[in-house]
Amino acid sequence: MSKTVLIVDDSESIRDLVEMTLENAGYTVIKSFDGEDATYKLNTSRPVDLIITDLNMPNLDGIDFIKNVRANEKYSTVPILLLTTESQAIKKEKAKEVGATGWIVKPFVREKLIAIVKKVIR
């Protein structure tokens, strides 16, 4: 069965781009537009093998979303990648502290995205 990736980003274009890139690489993609919606989807949809999330989002931002995910027993160990333009080290540190696995910096090349995803979920 193909692995499932959840992409959380408030920008539709980025969501679509990630979706198409990963689907072409053989993954199943679930899309979500903010932390609140993503938390809901995690609880209701099929099990997710990887979460890719933006940091700056309305309602529930990336950091709080990651906290939520980690608090959920089912997802306490699922890899989480940040997808962000945030170059500030503080934010990244903060994200790692609450449980992020790594990050992808926007703008990214599609091949690179696939390579990172492959590395994280074998």
Q: How far is the CB of 3 from other proteins (least distance, A)?
A: 23
| CA-based radius of gyration for the chain | 13
User: CB-wise, 104 or 120, nearer to other proteins?
Assistant: 104
User: CB-wise, 49 or 54, nearer to other proteins?
Assistant: 54
- For residue 94, give the amino acid letter: K
Chain centroid to CA 82: how far?
6
What is the CB neighbour count within 10 angstroms for residue 86? Answer: 19
Q: Which residues bind other proteins (CB under 8 A)?
A: 10-14, 16-17, 20, 33-34, 37, 54, 56-59, 84-85, 106-108
Q: How far is the CB of 122 from other proteins (least distance, A)?
A: 27
- CA dist 23 and 95 (Å) reads 27
- CA dist 10 and 25 (Å) reads 23
Q: Residue 103, SS3? A: strand
Q: How far is the CB of 105 from other proteins (least distance, A)?
A: 10
Q: How far is the CB of 109 from other proteins (least distance, A)?
A: 10
User: CB-wise, 67 or 108, nearer to other proteins?
Assistant: 108
User: CB-wise, 67 or 110, nearer to other proteins?
Assistant: 110
